[in-house]
Amino acid sequence: MNFRDRFLTAMEHAEPDRVPVMGLILDTATVNQVLGKKPTDLVGMLQKPILRSVLRALMNNHWYATRAQYRNAAAIMETAIKLGFDANWSLYWTMQLNPDPAASMGMAFHDAWGRVWEIGSDGKGNMVTNYTRSLCETETQWEAWVEQKRPVYDQLIADATTFHKRLTQAYNDRILSIGYAAPGVFENCWQPMGFVNFTKLVYQQRDFVKRMIAFHTDFYLRYLEGVLQSDVDIVLGGDDLGQKTGPLMRPDLIDTLYGESYRRIAELVHRYKKKLLWHSCGNIYLFLDKFIEWGFDGIITLEPTAGMDLAKVREQVGHKLVLVGNLDVSYLLVRGTREEIEEAVKQAIRAAATGGGYILSPSHSHALVDATRLQWMIEAAHRWGRYPISI
């Protein structure tokens, strides 16, 4: 059975030849480790005034940025293939590098929706970016931002569509490219405004919040349709609805505000006869039944450090959702021993793989995830994940 048939069989809650293994590779550090590339010290270069202006011009140039995005994605897919993954997620992203006095480096990336991403180093010479704050804290600021960025949104959808088409055409005979449409509607609403501001507006200006949700839903559906126009078999959407101890907002309130958006997203994917995996970090037990109601086909990360127990999740949802993930990236895949990784893989397979409907993967991606430990994870999955499961 090849990687595609293996993955799609598991997505149908049937037993393939073995448990599929999905990569969540996004970070340059992993690519460099596997492909033997030397890191480019962009952070150091940005700290030099002359180089800073040159780099900013390059990074903000549409022609250069779109090609750099594809080159990075191609290197990620080559990395995933070399490690032995059956699939890897693929994500298109666009940001502009701007002067920012509030940022530690005096400049930061601003994305199309109104987030600030601060620049840092992973300690290995690779640049990393992290969301830190909002740019649109009021209704007036948000409306002005959206009006200004309308041409950017159209261009983003066109570029993402081309990106995913190129990637699937180049790699779908070697690995399954899971097209990731991100960020999601909930995150696009609250992160550009800040969580405290957003939650106040939910109660104080509900009509505005509904108007904002409608805007982001319409945009997301257009964006998602662009991804679906590529040769992907499975698309990935997502919103982080949980934190370490439970939901970010009450599930009934999320359903009231976003349930119809999520149903429309699932319906669009199914009209294309594709499958929808949904990414949501944190402790999300209270959302599992909602995911089923909204029409999602599967969920991904199942974060163990947030208390997500794979056996408990399977018991709750049965085979109404495909389960993807649950391998810890806080310790296990950063500095865990080979024996610890093998035992965690066996435990995950034992908990969720019988009858199909389970895909092994890390619970997320970051720069400190070690490629050698990813290799150990894959080897253990190949050893213990053969059907019929007997561990």
pLDDT digits (tens, 9 = 90+) for 71-100: 999 999 999 999 999 999 999 998 999 999
**147 within a domain of the structure (yes/no):** yes
| Mean per-residue pLDDT, 197-219 | 97
**336 within a domain of the structure (yes/no):** yes
Instruction: Work out the percent of the chain whose per-residue pLDDT is above 70.
Output: 100
Q: How many CB atoms lie within 10 A of CB 297?
A: 23
Find the helix or strand (DSSP H, E) in which 252 lies: helix 251-271
Find the helix or strand (DSSP H, E) in which 357 lies: none
Q: How many domains does the chain have?
A: 1
How much is the CA Rg of the chain, to the nearest whole Å? 20
Average pLDDT of the chain is 96
Q: Give the residue numbers spanning the domain of 173.
A: 3-32+75-96+141-384
**57 within a domain of the structure (yes/no):** no
pLDDT at 124: 84
| Mean per-residue pLDDT, 214-243 | 97
Distance between CA 52 and CA 48 in Å, rounded?
Answer: 6
48: burial class by Cβ within 10 Å (0-12, 13-18, 19+)? exposed
**341 within a domain of the structure (yes/no):** yes
**What CATH number did the domain enclosing 23 receive?**
3.20.20.210
**46 within a domain of the structure (yes/no):** no
375 band by pLDDT with thresholds 50, 70 and 90: very high
pLDDT at 12: 98
Buried b (16+ CB within 10 A) or exposed e, 140-163: eebeeebeebeeebeebbebbbbb
Q: What is the dihedral of CA 311, 315, 319, 322, to 10 degrees?
A: -40
Residue 123 has pLDDT above 90, yes or no: no
Tokens of 134: 């909002």
Q: Where are the beta strands (DSSP E) in the chain?
A: 22-23, 87-91, 95-99, 107-111, 115-121, 127-134, 176-180, 234-238, 275-279, 298-301, 322-325, 358-359
Tokens of 287: 């959302």
| Mean per-residue pLDDT, 276-288 | 98
Range of weakest confidence among 43-47, 146-150, 377-381: 43-47
* Under 8 Å between Cβ of 107 and 113: no
Taking Cα atoms as reference points, which of 42, 41, 37 lies closest to residue 78? 37
Tell me: the pLDDT tens digits for 248-258?
A: 999 999 999 99
| Mean per-residue pLDDT, 97-119 | 95
**334 within a domain of the structure (yes/no):** yes
Taking Cα atoms as reference points, which of 296, 304, 302, 303 lies closest to residue 321? 296
Distance between CA 165 and CA 92 in Å, rounded?
Answer: 12
Tokens of 83: 């490690």
**Residues 6 or more apart in contact with residue 23 via CB below 8 angstroms:** 79, 80, 83, 85, 87, 88, 89, 361, 362, 374
Q: How many CB atoms lie within 10 A of CB 172?
A: 16
| DSSP track, 101-128 | TTSTTSEEEEETTSEEEEEEE-SSS-EE
294 or 94, which is more confident?
Answer: 294
Q: Which amino acid is at 105?
A: M
165 band by pLDDT with thresholds 50, 70 and 90: very high
**194 within a domain of the structure (yes/no):** yes
| Mean per-residue pLDDT, 270-298 | 98
Distance between CA 112 and CA 130 in Å, rounded?
Answer: 15
**199 within a domain of the structure (yes/no):** yes
pLDDT at 371: 97
Buried b (16+ CB within 10 A) or exposed e, 205-222: eeeebeebbebbbebbbb
**Residues 6 or more apart in contact with residue 199 via CB below 8 angstroms:** 190, 249
Instruction: Work out the percent of the chain whose per-residue pLDDT is above 90.
Output: 96
Distance between CA 54 and CA 4 in Å, rounded?
Answer: 43
Q: Is 8 helix (H, G, I), strand (E, B) or coil?
A: helix
pLDDT at 138: 95
Return phi, psi of residue 269, to 5°. -60, -45
pLDDT at 82: 98
Residue 176 has pLDDT above 90, yes or no: yes
